[in-house]
Amino acid sequence: MSRKRCLRAHAGGLAGVCVAVGRTAVAIACAMPCRPARSQEPVSEARTRVASYRIEASLDAHTKRLTGTTVLDWTNTSVRPVDQLMLHLYMNAFSSFDSTFMRESHSVSEGFTEWGWTRLKSVRLDAEEIPWKFLAPDDGNTKDQTVAALSLPRPVPPGDSVGLRMEFETKLPRCISRTGYVGDFMMIAQWYPKIGVLLADGSWACRQFHRDSEFFADFGDYDVTLKLPVGYTVVGSGVQVQKSAHDTTQVVRFKAARVTDVALAAQPGAQVRRSLWRSPSGKPLRLNLLVQPDHLRYADRHRAAMETALSLLEDWCGPFPLEELTLVDPPWNGMEAGGMEYPGMFATMTPLIEPGDCFSTIEDTTIHETVHQYVPLLVATNEADEPWLDEGLASYLTGRFLDEAYGASRYDLKLARLPLSWFVPVPKLYSWQAAKLSWLADPEGDSATRRSWEYTSEDSYYTQVYSRSHLVLQGLENNIGTARMKSIFRRFCSRFAHAHATAADFYAVVEEVAGPRAREYLASFLESSAAPDYAVRSLDAIDLGDSNAADAGSAGRTGGRVVVERRSPNAYPVDVCVRFEDGRLDRFSWNAEHPSAEFQYWRPVADAEVDPDARVLLDTNGINDSKMNRPDTRVAWKWSGLLAGLVQLLIAF
C-alpha cells in the first residue's frame, strides 16, 4: 500500500566500527522475534500451490454485486491434522460501523452509507454442507464478520488436500480502503472468500481486517471467469485468456499462476494502453495502463516510472516473476482504491496537476506499488503481524529508486488547488529527507515492529512502519555500502520467492551478507521506540601546562578536549571526526557503550562532529552533532534581520 496514505551519505564498511557492545547485544537478542529463521532450502514446488481457486462470478453493474462460486483446492502443509478451516471475508469490514475496521477508523465519515459485504451462501465439501461461524480472534468483537471458521466433518491429514465449493455474493462499497466503486469505475479487490494461512505448527494466521493491516495468503493458481455487461473494459491480475460477448453480456477470463490473490478493475469505455517492454536483461514484459481521461497527459510519466522501477528491481531483486504488469489509475473521486498492490496489477494515484519537478505522487506511488510486486507479492510477508517488512522494504527501495532516477523532488504542496511551487520556491528533498521530516513529526512511542493494529494512532503507524523503516534501511546502506545492500535484497527475494518470509528471515539474510553488526543495527533501531540522538556535548581548549598527562615540553601549549554523548538507549557505534586548527583530521569509531566519552588532544581542536556520514539517519537533532571552537553568528544575524523585517512589514502603517 502506498505511503501516501499517509540524502546521500558515504557508504563504508562496518569493519571499522565493529566494537562489541555486550549489554546491548544481549538485549537485542531477547527482543528478536521468537520465530527462528528458516533454513536455506529452496521452496518446493508443492509449497507454491497451497491454495488454488477457480472462481466463476457475474457482476451486476447496476447494483455493484458479484454473485458466484469459488472452488478452493487447499493442501494442509502443517505437521498436524486440521479439522477447522479459517476464511477471510474482508469485504465485511465495510458492512457497518460495528466492524473492527470501522471501529478503528476515525477518518470514515459518519455519512458513509454505501456499504459492502460478502455473504457466504453455502460451503460444500464433496456435496456435504459445511457449517461455519464468525470468529474475532484479535479483539473479540462479536459484530466483526471478517473471519469465519469452517468445521470440517473429518480432519485433513498433513499433506492431504480438500476441495471446497463456496457460493458467495459480494456487494462492493463506495470506494474505501483499496476497494469499491465510484460512478462506473469498480475496483474489485478482496471480493471472494479467501482461506487464511495455516502455519507449519498447525496454528492459523488469519487476522481480522484491521484499519492498517493488509493481507497474508498462500500461493496458488487462480482461474477467474467474470460475466459482466458489454462495454466494460476489464483488467486484472494475471493474463487474460478469454474474452467473448453474447448479446449484452461479455465473459472475461483471467489466469494467474503461483500468486497470493487476484483483483480486477472494470470501467465502461476505458482505454488501456499496452506496450511491450524489455528489461535490461532482455526479458519481455507486457505493460498495461488503464488511465483516466483526466490523467492521460501523465500516462507517459506512469509508464516511465514503471520501467524505471522494473529496471532497478531486476538489478536489486532479480527478474520480474510475471508476464504482465497492469497499472490502474482510479478516477479522482476513487482515490481510496489507489495506492494498492495485487499480483500483476496495482492501483496508483494521479493528482490533477503535478509539476514536472515534483514526483511525490505519480512517480512515488507507481514505483512504490511496482516494488510491492516483489515484497509482499513474490516474497509473501504477513502484513498484519509484520507490516514493516513489506512497507518498510518497499518504502526504502522506492526512495532509493526515486533518488537514483529522478534526483531530489519538490513536495506536492498545494495553494488554492494549484502547486505551491508555482508561487514560492519549495525546497527540493531527497526521499530519505522527506521520510525523516515525516518521522520527526512523531518519532517516539512506537517501534517499527509492532503488529499493525497495535499502533497508538494511524499517524504513528505510518510514521514508524514507513518512515522509520525507510530511514533505518537507508542508514544500513550508508553503513555497509550499496553493493552489499543489493546482495541482501537479491538473496532475500531469491530464497523466499513464492514463499512466506518473516522478519527473522530478513535479519538472517542481512547477517549472512553483511555480518552480525548489520543485523544488530537493524534490530537496534527498528525494534526500539526510542529516538536516537548523538551529540558533541562540549569542545574546549585545555592548557597542556596544567595537565598531568602533559610532558615537560608541552607546558604553556594549548590542546583540545572533545566530549561526545548519546542521549538515547540505542548504543550503536558511530564515527567521530575531529578537525584540528592546523587542518589535520582525526577520524575514529566511538563504540557508544557508555552514554558519553571524553577525548583529549595535544593540538587545539577547530571542530568535532559525530556521525559525519549520517549512518544513523534516525538521529533526531542534527544541530548538536557538531561543535566549533569559534561560534559562527552569521546565520543568527541573517535570520534575525529577516524576522525583524517581517515584523515591520506586518505592523507597517
Partner 1 sequence: MTRLYRQAITDLSRCRGLVLTFYMLGLVPAVLLVLPFLTKITEVLGPSLASARLLHQADPLLIYDLLQQHADFMSLFQWQLCVVVATGCFLRLVLTGGVLDHLASPGPLDLGRLFASSLRVLPGMLWLGVFELAALGGIALLLDLHISITAIQDAPTEWPAFWLGLTKVAMLGAALAAVLQIFKYSRILLFRSGGAGAHAAIVALADGARFFFRNPGGAIGISLYALGLVALAVIMRATLTYAAVQLDLLPVAVGVLSTQVLVFFHQYIRFLNLAASMQFAASAAGSVETPEKTTTAEGVDAVLDAPGSGEISEEVGEV
Chain positions contacting partner 1, by CB under 8 A = 182-183, 292-294, 331-333, 352, 416-418, 427, 429, 433, 436-437, 440, 539, 607, 609, 620-628, 631-645, 647-653
Alpha helical stretches, state H, 372-456? 387-406, 431-440
CB of 111 to partner 1, least distance (A): 10
Please, which residue, 350 or 528, has the CB nearer to partner 1?
350
User: By CB neighbour count within 10 A (0-12 exposed, 13-18 middle, 19+ buried), where does 593 fall?
Assistant: middle
d(CA 621, CA 531): 10
CB of 351 to partner 1, least distance (A): 9
CB of 299 to partner 1, least distance (A): 16
Please, which residue, 46 or 541, has the CB nearer to partner 1?
541
Residue type, 77: T
CB of 577 to partner 1, least distance (A): 10
Residue 537 DSSP SS3: strand
d(CA 653, CA 634): 30
> Which three cell numbers, joined as nine digits, stand for 86?
479459517
CB of 599 to partner 1, least distance (A): 17
Q: Which residue has the cell 527501495?
A: 397
Please, which residue, 200 or 644, has the CB nearer to partner 1?
644
Q: Which residue has the cell 483471467?
A: 254
Count of C-beta atoms within a 10 Å radius of residue 210? 26
Please, which residue, 127 or 649, has the CB nearer to partner 1?
649
Q: State the DSSP H helix or E strand holding residue 634, giving kind and residue range, or none if neither.
A: helix 634-651
Please, which residue, 96 or 640, has the CB nearer to partner 1?
640
> Which three cell numbers, joined as nine digits, stand for 373?
510486486
Q: Which residues contact 472 (CB under 8 A, 6 or more apart)?
A: 392, 448, 521, 522, 525, 526, 617, 618
CB of 236 to partner 1, least distance (A): 22
* Phi then psi dihedrals of residue 75, to 5 deg: -115, 135
d(CA 418, CA 421): 9
CB of 353 to partner 1, least distance (A): 8
Please, which residue, 58 or 624, has the CB nearer to partner 1?
624
Q: Comparing C-alpha atoms, which of 143, 55, 150 is closest to residue 92?
A: 143
Number of helices (H), then strands (E), belonging to the chain: the values are 12, 36
CB of 626 to partner 1, least distance (A): 4
Please, which residue, 549 or 651, has the CB nearer to partner 1?
651
Please, which residue, 203 or 640, has the CB nearer to partner 1?
640
